[in-house]
Amino acid sequence: QSEGYFELHEFRVGEQSFSDISLKWDGDFQKHRVNVDVISPSTTMNIGFTGSCVKDNCEINVDAASFTLQQYGPWQLLNPVQLRVGPGEIKPFRSCWVQEQSDICLSSSWNDSDGWKTEGDPRAPALDALLEILKDVLNKEHLGWNHLAGK
């Protein structure tokens, strides 16, 4: 059992610059709670999740997530999302996001050979923009983590 808090200020990953990122965790690899906050000049994001991992396989319940893009405004995750993460893949999952009276849903997955695959609402330019940022930030050339990022 452990808990901790980690912060980074004023840094770049690829083409993206960030003002702040914070990571707070409680628990261990087998059972944990994590909250991540990210602030950049054009984006803010928050994600909170619980999870459990056995060897290289994790089940993660994203119970809260939100993001704001200057161009598209604030969006929030409508319902919790279950993720199954294994070596080199994130199994297909569905997420729905709301902004005031609007909502959009996407089906997404990731694997090491093909990267991110997302299908969903064609009215989702905000999610497309967020995914492009995440693809750049999570690019394995930047992180060197094969299990985390798409191409």
* Separation of alpha carbons 146 and 151, rounded Å: 10
With cut-offs at 50, 70 and 90, classify the pLDDT of residue 146.
very low
Query: H or E stretch including 49?
Result: strand 43-54
| pTM metric for this prediction | 0.75
Per-residue model confidence as pLDDT tens digits over 95-124: 888 888 778 888 888 888 887 787 876 656
* Separation of alpha carbons 47 and 21, rounded Å: 12
